[in-house]
Each structure stands twice: as structure tokens, then as C-alpha cells.
Structure 1
Amino acid sequence: MNLFRLDASILPGTSTSAEIADAAEAEWTAAHPGATVTRRHLGTDPLPAEAWALATTAAFTPEADRTPAQLEALALAATLAEEVQRADAAILAVPLYNFGVSQHFKTWADLVIAGAGPTTPLLKGTPTVLATSLGGGYGPGTPREGWDHSTPYLERVLGDIWQADLTVIKRELTLAATTPGMESLQDLAEQHRIEALAAASRAGRTLAGN
């Protein structure tokens, strides 16, 4: 058994998305002691931003004419795609930044697509947990309803393109405890945290069962 775990937080020591993912992973590893966990942390070990363009242009370049940088980018893209494809279960911890996904995650996703092809269902039928965290509130009726451009993108890539058996766990209001003006939302934020961690544990048990 092989679990693929990806993190994208730039603050790993205080990451709320990682906290959710940790709860799910704990259930999986308890059920599969000694099994392989393949980890990739994009926040602490980001991929080179230029690699996607190099891999993409290499695909349209005759093999004999490819530069060393293009060949290196192609190899990286193939490695990343293989990490995803060989997973028996997957957990991705991806916070919202500036109303979307971070450049680190986008580079990774683009490289995986370059390595596997734009329509390859890399996670077809694979139980997958997406743990995502948002500093504010983006639900119906909030001032920023519709500003979450991260979760829909992630669902399209993981669920629609890669065809994962996807469970999304979203925690909002993560900045309420430290942001002036959000004091009245702290109790609600804590409720979100408790619910997200409980959902993560349930999702982890589902991953383990598969």
C-alpha cells in the first residue's frame, strides 16, 4: 500500500491544512503500519517555476534538439506524475492564498499534467482527501461569497481530470484567532476546526478501508 501526501502551506509549523491532513493520515497509517508514505512538500521544497514551460515546449521540440534544461524538466514531470499514479490513496493539504491556489501548487499540477498528458485519469477510483483551509469566510451570504477560486479549481483537477474518488474537507475562518476585527468569529472558527478534524478522521478511516 502506498499513500501519497502533498502539502502546499508556506507556513508548515502552523499550517491549518496540514492539521486536517495529519488527522486523516493518522487513521490511514494506523490501519497500514509500515506501509509506504510518499511525501512532497511544495511549501518547503518548491518546484522550479520555469520547469513547466520547459517541459511543455520540449514536447513540441524534436528529441535531438531538446536542451538539457528541457530534458531535466521532462524527467521531473514524469517523476511527479508517477508519484500520483502509483498511489493507492492520496491526501492533499492545499490552503487558499490570495483567493486561489499558490504558485507552488499550480506549478506542481501543471508539471504533473505535462508528465502524464492533459486527460490522463491519474487517480481514477483512488480514494483521495483534499484538506483545504481559508483564512476568512466565503460561504453563501458572506461579503466574499464567490471569491474562493481555489476549491473549484482543485475539484476540477483532482475530481474531473484525474477522476479521484474525492472527499473535500474545507475549514474556514482560520485567521479569526489572530486578526483584529474577527474577534466575534472566534467561536465559529473553533467550531469549523472541530468539525474539520472530525471529518478528516472519518475520511482517513475511509481511505484505510480502501
Structure 2
Amino acid sequence: MATLLHLDSAVFSEGSMSREVTAAFVTTWREQHPDGKVVYRDLAADPLPHLDATAVAAGATDTLRGELAAELAAADAVLIGAPMYNFSIPSTLKAWLDQVIIVGHNAGAEGPVAGTPVTVVASRGGSYAPGTPREDFEFVQNYLEKVLSGMLGLEVDFIVPELTLARSKPEMAELIPLADASRTQAFAEAAEKAKALAARLAA
């Protein structure tokens, strides 16, 4: 029985592209794993505290950090909704990362969670793809790839719905066709990646 750890961090519960795509991923995952388990954390609705000196000193013996680390270690796969806020990740997701990464316990290429596949839905209102004017402002994929793979040894994959503000910003109206195409592709990738991951874990 495979376990999926699902984290959402978008502030809005309705109208959030990252939440919609992670939900689609989970739906396909459940279809492939009807007897499987999904552990869900809504980091916006139930935010974790920022890391403090006491928790750092306690490490894995800290009740909360130990719980989060054990939750991650028990997961066969991880799904993270990570919308771009002010060019970076939501602070609630950063708090989870700070709490769950424990040097000397689960960090490192040979750590207990190394190799666990993680799918990140990195939605953004504009486009920060290579070749676009704001390419240098992209700190979501760059950061998460480095911290998840570099600190925890996770196997990181991305789904990137872009231009999510096109229908709400008049100045972006000409980009609506591209936004719709990106949305369609994101949902297709969610289904495809969930199926592929389910098959891989079942093998």
C-alpha cells in the first residue's frame, strides 16, 4: 500500500491553480491506488510555526519536527502545491521545509528519504520560462529543486501552470490562449505523472 504525502500552500482555497492541479493528481493517484493512503497537510489553513532556537537545538527529538520528519519518511511519494508569491514560495511552505529538514537526521544524499519522488506544482501568474523577460525572477523551481534534492536527496519533478492571472488582468488579455494551453497541459501532466508514479511504485 503506497502512501502519498500531499502538501498545499496556496493562500486561497478557491480559485487556486496549484490546488486544482494537485487535486487532479490526487484523484488519479487514488484511482490507481484505491487501497492506498493520502496524508494531507494544508499549510495555509493550518500553518506551522517558524523554526526557533529551541526546535533547532532539539532536532528530531522536538515533537513537531519529529512528527513531520516521520511523516516524510513514511511517504512513498510527495506532492507539493507551490504557487509563486513575490517571486518565491509561500512562507508557510518555507516553514515546513525549515521544520522537516533536520541535519544529522534526514538530510543528505544517503539519508532515509533520499530517492523519494516529489512532484511540485509550481503555478505562477505570469511566465518566467527560459527566454522570457522575467526569467531571472524565477526563484520557485530554482530554490525547491536545490533544497529538496540538495538537502534531502529527493527526486524532484515539476508541473508548471503559467499565466494564471491572464483572465483577471486586462493587460494580459492577449495571453489568454497561452494561459489556457498551459492550464490544459498542467492537468494532462498531473494525470500522466500520477499514473506513471503509481505504476512505478506498484512494480
Normalising by the residue count of structure 2, what TM-score does the alignment of the two structures yield? 0.89
Report the counterpart of residue 73 of structure 2 in structure 1: 85
Q: Displacement of 1:42 after TM fit?
A: 0.5
Report the counterpart of residue 15 of structure 2 in structure 1: 14
Q: Secondary structure at the match of 1:5?
A: strand
Q: Structure 1 segments of 4 or more deviating over 6 A? A: none
Q: Is the 8 A contact 2:107 2:153 kept in 1?
A: no
Aligned pair count reads 196
2:150 paired with 1:149:
no
Report the counterpart of residue 54 of structure 2 in structure 1: 54
* Matches of 2:97 and 2:90, distance apart in 1: 11
* Matches of 2:111 and 2:20, distance apart in 1: 28
Q: Is the 8 A contact 1:9 1:94 kept in 2?
A: yes
**Equivalent residues in 2 for 1:173-192 (5 A)?**
173-192=163-182
Q: Displacement of 1:136 after TM fit?
A: 0.8
- Which has the higher mean CA deviation after the structures are superposed, 121-130 or 135-144? 121-130
Question: Once the two structures are superposed, what CA deviation does each residue of 1:121-161 show, in whole Å capped at 9, x if it has no partner?
Answer: 35322232111101111123322111011111111122232
Q: Which residue identity lines up with residue 149 of structure 1 in the other structure?
A: F
* Matches of 1:122 and 1:148, distance apart in 2: 30
- Given candidates 74, 78, 102, the residue that maps to 1:114 is 102
- Which has the higher mean CA deviation after the structures are superposed, 75-84 or 22-31? 22-31
Aligned-residue CA RMSD in angstroms? 1.8
* Fraction of identical pairs, as percent: 36
Report the counterpart of residue 42 of structure 1 in structure 2: 43
Q: Which residue identity lines up with residue 87 of structure 1 in the other structure?
A: A
Report the counterpart of residue 63 of structure 1 in structure 2: none
Q: Secondary structure at the match of 1:149?
A: coil
Q: Is the 8 A contact 1:96 1:150 kept in 2?
A: yes
- The gaps in structure 2 that reach 5 residues or longer are none
Q: Is the 8 A contact 1:46 1:104 kept in 2?
A: yes
Normalising by the residue count of structure 1, what TM-score does the alignment of the two structures yield? 0.86
Q: Is the 8 A contact 2:106 2:112 kept in 1?
A: no
* Matches of 1:21 and 1:122, distance apart in 2: 25
Report the counterpart of residue 126 of structure 1 in structure 2: 116
Larger radius of gyration: 1
Q: Secondary structure at the match of 2:179?
A: helix
* Matches of 2:176 and 2:57, distance apart in 1: 48
* Matches of 1:193 and 1:19, distance apart in 2: 10
* Matches of 1:151 and 1:52, distance apart in 2: 26
* Matches of 1:52 and 1:207, distance apart in 2: 36
- The gaps in structure 1 that reach 5 residues or longer are 60-70
Q: Displacement of 1:171 after TM fit?
A: 1.2
Quick one: structure 1 residues 122 and 14, their matched pair in 2 at CA, closer, same or farther if it must change by over 3 Å? Answer: farther
Q: Is the 8 A contact 1:77 1:111 kept in 2?
A: yes
Q: Secondary structure at the match of 1:13?
A: coil
